[in-house]
Amino acid sequence: MGLQLRTSDNVLGPGGHLAELRMRRLRVGELSVADAGAAKQHLDECAACRLRLEGLESEERAFSQAIAYPRFAGGVERAARVPRPEHRPGRRSVIYAAALGCAAAAAFLLVFRQGGDGGTDGPGLYGGPENRTKGGASVDVSVRVASGDGRAQRSAAPGSTTPLAPGERLRIGYFVPGTRYLLAVTIDDAGTMSPVFDEGGDSHLVAATKAMTFLPDSIELTGAGHERLFLFVSQTPFPGAVVQAALREALNKARGDLAAMESPRVSADMTGHSWLFRKP
């Protein structure tokens, strides 16, 4: 891998050979007559490319032997029968902004508790009585929304859909009386999950706080449609894979409708909180 990038001026792959995808497209008859002719001429002259082509043919034989058509068809049919949320065109992303380098993010540090103006998550939707973790100690969480142009901030209400304007960012706050494990993940209405905190997808230990404390990064949800942000808090560590599997199940149960999706409760000492956003 070098820093000299190939462009269309040299459409052959590295070393002047046929590019891998081009060779595969030749195999399935996707190349134009002219391109196919040029590719075949190159193959006639290039032993290395003929060898690679034989490798592709061998790969195809191995595939059909390993996975025969009935098995393939059955598997695809099963995959297609899993209720799938509506898949909207567009591109979505979760963008983290540097907390200290962004005035809007700094403004997020104004303390806001969910119980103060957003209300606590109800037990029916979030599975935990008044957001209290085991032991009776209060855990408060919040999500603040702010634009980058200094306009007034607002809090995201957990029980309704919060519309986002272009460029608006979210910041997740928490108040915990003792050490806790946090995990934040988003899921959009295409069913794509994006770990937010920690980035690797597992729960992350945070120290006790004396005031509302915000996670270090702000988040921008881009693309169209809706996206739900989940924040899980627990006294014990928990793997992200378990949470994601539970979220997937909850999404399927809600038939892909993020608004109807309930926050799963993965363990007894875990509380779940969520906010639904409509992206610009």
Site for other proteins in 180-219 (CB under 8 A): 188, 190, 192-195, 198-202, 216-217
- Rounded to whole angstroms, the Cα distance separating 116 from 218 reads 21
Which tokens hold the place of 235?
């006294």
136 binds other proteins (CB under 8 A): no
Q: Closer CB to other proteins, residue 83 or residue 123?
A: 83
**DSSP tag of 10:** G
Q: Contact with other proteins (CB under 8 A): which of 37, 54, 73, 205?
A: 73
Number of amino acids touching other proteins (CB under 8 A): 76
Cβ count near 132 (within 10 Å): 14
What b/e string do you get for 163-187 counting C-beta neighbours within 10 Å, with b at 16 or more?
Answer: ebeeebbbbbbbbbeeebbbbbbbb
Which tokens hold the place of 10?
């040299």
77 binds other proteins (CB under 8 A): yes
Q: Closer CB to other proteins, residue 46 or residue 157?
A: 46
Q: Closer CB to other proteins, residue 13 or residue 177?
A: 13
**H-helix or E-strand spanning residue 58:** helix 47-66
158 binds other proteins (CB under 8 A): no
90 binds other proteins (CB under 8 A): yes
87 binds other proteins (CB under 8 A): yes
**Binders in 91-110 for other proteins, by CB under 8 A:** 91-101
CA angle 237, 238, 243 (to 5 degrees): 155
Q: Contact with other proteins (CB under 8 A): which of 34, 45, 69, 211?
A: 69
Distance between the two ends of the chain, CA-based, in angstroms? 39
Nearest distance, CB of residue 21 and other proteins, angstroms: 4
- Rounded to whole angstroms, the Cα distance separating 275 from 162 reads 8
- Rounded to whole angstroms, the Cα distance separating 193 from 188 reads 7
**Binders in 38-57 for other proteins, by CB under 8 A:** 52, 56
Nearest distance, CB of residue 97 and other proteins, angstroms: 7
Site track for other proteins across 235-254, x = CB under 8 A: ----xxx--x----------
65 binds other proteins (CB under 8 A): no
